[in-house]
Chains A and B, each alone.
Chain A
Amino acid sequence: MSADPDSWGKAYRPLRPRSLAVQLVLLVVAEVALYASYDVHDARFHWATHFLVALAYASLILFVRLLVTGAPGPRLLLPAVLGFHLFAMTPDIVFRGGVPHYLWMDVFLGHITAHEMPGGDGSWLVIALTCLGLFVGALTAWLRARHAEAEAGMPPGIGLTGMAVLRPQLDPRRAMLVHDENDETGSGPTVVLLHGLGASSAFWRPVTAGLSAAGARAVVPDMLGFGASIRLGTHFHLDDQAAAVIRLVERHGAGPVVLAAHSYGAAVAVTVARDRPDLVRRLVLVAPAAFADAEQARARIGGRSWIARKTMDGSPVADLACGTMCLLRRPLTSLAPRMAARVSPDIPPDVARDAVRYVWPAYRDALTSLLEDSPLPAWLADPPLPTTVVIAEDDETVPAEGLGAMLGPRVDVVRLPGTHGLPLERPAEVARAILLNGARATPGSKAL
């Protein structure tokens, strides 16, 4: 399993005991000094109000930050409280410089009206401690989850949001990928179908109907971090995904399988075939996300999706947007099918629902792998195993011309009219392409 200890170290930095101890001393000294500055002017209750307001705001913001980013921060946790306190007391600082108070100064965390709170500082104490309790509760759950993952021998789930903030992810070496499986025991081959980015096994359901009819046994997993496998795994690079698929294939013990994959799933399928050629009889890559280089990948994928573009650029906006989406995953999963029904009625409701059912690092790492370490170009140029590529003629993400130019002479090619969502648009033809059973198509020809 791939892991990046540097990123763990960075995420854990705000929690280093020695650093926290130094921060605590700094905070206490600074607060005592601020208290003394108010006490000189017989204004101690002002210090108390603004400190409690600052503590409440800081706790809430740290709480939301933890939920959205899946890691505690900023690096200096305790001085954040001091920063909020100084911000809250800004009008008092400028007052000492000769500027009286005005009502607009409420922008400084309610500097003017905070004193109007019924119950005064007693109420603020309750509010501040409640907010602190929220943050501490979430941080405790986050720590417990990461401890549990470490204990299981997994890399910690840094950056995992949604429920993964509060509960540990499961170890994909000990829990199988959630998958659909038909009960065919006919003479057909076993076909394992891998979905693409932002999808799940639901994407292949129209195709598996055709496979079942032909007597093929179909196994369709939700890959790590996607669909119903959302709780599986903490790292989602190609080798992580491939290892999980290999375990699934090994568990089914059906001998070499036909490995069919769509879009990003093709990169996983090729990694599986490269690492364990003994498990793969043939590869069928439908609209594989193969690009000549990282720049082309960035242009093609980024051109189709704002969030993908931001993600590939490494923009923190993508982290924020996706972290927020993960927080709202539950309402979004019920909303997505209804929205899809209006915008694209052809998309099945379960496909629309699973389009938002993934953890953010799984999406990010999938995109990154297409940019940085995709094995597809090399494989397609000279595949060591029988490989069929199904090209969608109207594919805007992976244009037919560009893809065709990457294919070596040993690749069987099937061209079908349709766009990148070919398995949804032409399930019967895609099923037939998967079940070619060794009948070779000519490169550039329309086999179906």
Chain B
Amino acid sequence: MTTAVDRAGRGDCCDDPQDAAWGRLPGAEPPLPTWVPAAAAAVVALVLTLVIVLVVRAPGPLDDPDPADQRDGLLLHGPVLPQKLDGVEFGGRTVVVLFEREDPMGPAFETWKATVSDDGVELIVLVGPGGEEVARRVGMPTPVDGLRPVGYAVVDASRTVRYATLDPAYEKNAFEVDVITGAVA
């Protein structure tokens, strides 16, 4: 027995006189030319690259050097603070400690303050060199410029640090603080 006389693609059966009559079957042609997906992908790549370059800015001087650690929304089970630290009393209620470089003021801050400090949450604002020990103990990150952090920490009623983040635009994000304090209450 000899084998494999004809191999697919190398057959010699192409002389059927009916071949000429075999045209394309209606509807058999794909609706998209072959080049379209590649062209579309090239446009997507270009647009996305531009968007990412324009949209995703490098961390500013007040931001966390690692953007992933800033406002990650992830509850901590951090260290337990002493009852009194840098003159701030912890325990018995949820405390939000706001770290600022200058005294916050203005209607935006007042709105933020009103939102944050409802539901029995106490807001402590630490400005200037007084709160360095609190910042260290709650694990406030150091911003890109290496100076005092601007952001906040949340300490629950049992004095456990539950959240600490830099947020130079905190006035825009009162609802985030509310979610965290609501979850630890």
The interface of chain A, by Cβ under 8 A from chain B, is: 3, 5, 8-9, 12, 15-17, 20, 35, 40-45, 47-48, 52, 55, 91-92, 95-96, 98-103, 112, 115-116, 120-122, 125, 128-129, 132-133, 136, 139-140, 143-144, 146-147, 149-151, 153-156, 170, 173-183, 205, 208-209, 212, 218, 228-232, 247, 251
Contacts and interface: CB of A to CB of B under 8 A. Distances in A.
Contacts of B5: 179-181
Contacts of A44: 55-57
A42 B13 contact: no
10 contacts: A5-B26, A15-B30, A98-B179, A100-B75, A132-B44, A140-B37, A150-B30, A170-B9, A174-B13, A209-B1
A140 B38 contact: yes
A11 to B, nearest CB: 9
A125 B74 contact: no
A52 B75 CA distance: 25
B102 interface: no
B34 A140 contact: yes
Nearest to A41: B173
Contacts of A179: 4-6
A122 B52 contact: yes
B8 A170 contact: yes
Interface in B18-32: 19, 22-32
B179 A95 contact: yes
Contact of A176 (B6, B26, B38): B6
Contacts of A155: 25, 28
Contact of B22 (A41, A96, A122, A173): A173
Contacts of A146: 28, 30
B108 interface: no
Given A12-B30, A150-B29, A180-B4, A121 B52 contact: yes
A386 B4 CA distance: 30
B183 A129 contact: no
B168 to A, nearest CB: 9
Contacts of B67: 45, 115, 120
B52 A125 contact: yes
A173 B12 CA distance: 10
Given A143-B32, A175-B8, A228-B7, A102 B1 contact: no
Nearest to A122: B52
Interface residues of B, number: 60
Interface string B93-126: 0000000000000000000000000000000000
A48 B56 contact: yes
Contact of B74 (A41, A102, A231): A102
B73 interface: yes
Contacts of B25: 3, 5, 150, 153-155
Contacts of A151: 24
A178 B6 contact: yes
B21 to A, nearest CB: 9
Given A151-B24, A153-B22, A178 B4 contact: yes
A153 B37 contact: no
Given A43-B71, A174-B14, A8 B27 contact: yes
Given A42-B173, A149-B28, A179-B4, 8 more contacts: A5-B27, A98-B178, A125-B48, A146-B30, A156-B28, A156-B30, A173-B13, A175-B8
B92 interface: no
B151 to A, nearest CB: 13
A180 B24 CA distance: 32
Interface in B25-81: 25-35, 37-38, 40-41, 44-45, 48-49, 51-52, 55-57, 67-68, 71-75
